[in-house]
Amino acid sequence: MGYSRLTEQTVVDYVVAQPELRRRFRTSRLAAREVGDGNLNYVFIVTNPEEPAESMVVKQAVPFLRIAGESWPLGRQRMEFETLALRRYAELCPDMVPELFLAAPDMSLIAMRNLSDHRIVRGEMNLGKRFPLLADHMSTFLARTLFHTSDLFLDPADKKPAVARAINIELCKITEDFVFTHPYDASPSNAPNPDLPQAVIDAIQKDPELRAAVGEMKWLFMNAAEALLHGDLHTGSIMANERETFVIDPEFAFYGPMGFDVGALLANLWLAFLAHEWRQRAMGNDPDPYRRWLLETAESVWTGFERKFLELWRVSDAARDGTSFIGRDLDRGASAEAFRQRFMRRLLADTIGFAGCKIMRRIVGIAKVADIAGITDREARVRIEQQALTMGRQLVMRRTGFSSVAEISALARKIAPLAGTMA
């Protein structure tokens, strides 16, 4: 079948015509709704109106960038990278990705389980909801996916073809441009809040030290094929409830630096921390408890990730007759352990640097986060955006100087104090 763009009408005909999809419904009288709120694709929920529990999601790539419109062409192949990543994640973290019912490269679409009992974490956090298991689940996801797709675990003869299969040129280019380049080179694609003083943007775009540091992060992103990354792991790519957490939307997947995925998640928790100084007050709450929870969640993501990643690594090395990534053991594992400790320190620095870039791009660049862009008090929004830029800058510039994420919590509280600690 050739490609055609689906609509709320034609997606139903499509589902009914695919036996592996049709058999999941007791009727062919289905209804569909387009619910995509992402920047790239179209997402339909197809339901049996008589039995709303019978439903599925159909996600289709269109040959352009949705956020920009049809004048911005973008290949449809991104859905194949999403499929590849969802399949690999289903092997590594089966309870954390939606079950795939069908992948149809000809139509650039996938059909999968509708996570109807789960909500997008960003939207819920903006309403002040807590996810008590989020840090535990996401640290497990990060540890398992990043360790098992890296050279610390895989045979090089398996890893290199895996890297080659996931060369995602177009979507990496989006990240290279919109995360690492355009926010800093005064590109016309930028869309800063018009209330933000030009001097604040100039401070980001005309600081050679900062631009050089961001350039180093871009270089790492483009050259360090460490592990299979989700590639866009912000809080809008996670669906959760009190019990379960699912990772969705891995169309940006490729083999890149591990810190990019970890940093994306931390950056979005820190952006939420900044936003909730206003959001919680607007809801009539004392902002401190929720903001503290966000910082604790960020700390637990890192500490949980570090512990679980090291655990997987030590167990895997132990099963290899004393031969680890650095070679044969000659000192009862002391050298292997020293390498692990250095590896994690370097990974923390990468994570912090990438988080800084991710924070700044959400203020200056084209793609915003609703956490901050949805702040209706203009003065508060400008204040919080300035805090975000201050924090992003410090993270990138000082990324090798932090020895824990708790130190970043202290930095965040210094830049945007908790109400209880304000003078």
| Residues of this chain that bind ligand SR1 (CB under 6 A) | 39, 65, 67, 174-175, 178, 232, 366-367
Looking at residue 121, the DSSP 8-state letter turns out to be H
The window from 21-29, 73-81, 247-255, 296-304 that contacts Mg ion (CB under 5 A) reads 247-255
Q: How far is the CB of 242 from ligand SR1 (least distance, A)?
A: 26
Neighbours of 275 (CB within 10 A): 28
User: Which of residues 235 and 390 has its CB atom nearest to Mg ion in the complex?
Assistant: 235
Q: Which does 366 bind (CB under 5 to 8 A by kind): Mg ion, ligand SR1, none?
A: ligand SR1
User: Which of residues 367 and 397 has its CB atom nearest to ligand SR1 in the complex?
Assistant: 367
Helices (H) and strands (E) in the chain, counts: 15, 14
User: Which of residues 82 and 350 has its CB atom nearest to Mg ion in the complex?
Assistant: 82
Q: How far is the CB of 341 from ligand SR1 (least distance, A)?
A: 32
Q: Which does 287 bind (CB under 5 to 8 A by kind): ligand SR1, Mg ion, none?
A: none
392 lies in the binding site for Mg ion (CB under 5 A): no
Q: How far is the CB of 53 from ligand SR1 (least distance, A)?
A: 30
Mutual orientation of helices 378-397 and 258-282 as an angle, nearest 10°? 150
Q: How far is the CB of 416 from Mg ion (least distance, A)?
A: 27
Kindly calculate the radius of gyration of the chain based on its CA atoms and give it in whole angstroms.
Answer: 22
Q: Which does 109 bind (CB under 5 to 8 A by kind): ligand SR1, Mg ion, none?
A: none
Neighbours of 38 (CB within 10 A): 18
Quote the CA–CA distance of 40 and 68 in Å, as a whole number.
Answer: 9
User: Which of residues 133 and 370 has its CB atom nearest to ligand SR1 in the complex?
Assistant: 370
User: Which of residues 308 and 368 has its CB atom nearest to ligand SR1 in the complex?
Assistant: 368
Q: Is the dihedral of CA 321, 327, 330, 336 positive or negative?
A: negative
Quote the CA–CA distance of 397 and 224 in Å, as a whole number.
Answer: 20
In angstroms, the first-to-last Cα distance of the chain is 66
Q: How far is the CB of 36 from ligand SR1 (least distance, A)?
A: 12
Quote the CA–CA distance of 412 and 417 in Å, as a whole number.
Answer: 7
User: Which of residues 81 and 293 has its CB atom nearest to ligand SR1 in the complex?
Assistant: 81
192 lies in the binding site for Mg ion (CB under 5 A): no
**CA 217 to each of CA 23, 50, 137, 204, 227: distance values in angstroms, whole numbers, following the listed order:** 48, 52, 27, 15, 16
Determine contact, residues 77/169, Cβ cutoff 8 Å.
no
Q: How far is the CB of 39 from ligand SR1 (least distance, A)?
A: 4
User: Which of residues 189 and 300 has its CB atom nearest to ligand SR1 in the complex?
Assistant: 189
Contacts with Mg ion, 22-41, as mask; x by CB under 5 A? ----------------x---
Burial of 83 (0-12, 13-18, 19+ CB in 10 A): buried
Could you identify the residue written with the tokens 């990019």? 260
249 lies in the binding site for Mg ion (CB under 5 A): yes
User: Which of residues 38 and 263 has its CB atom nearest to Mg ion in the complex?
Assistant: 38
Q: Which does 18 bind (CB under 5 to 8 A by kind): Mg ion, ligand SR1, none?
A: none
Quote the CA–CA distance of 193 and 372 in Å, as a whole number.
Answer: 10
Q: Which residues bind Mg ion (CB under 5 A)?
A: 38, 249
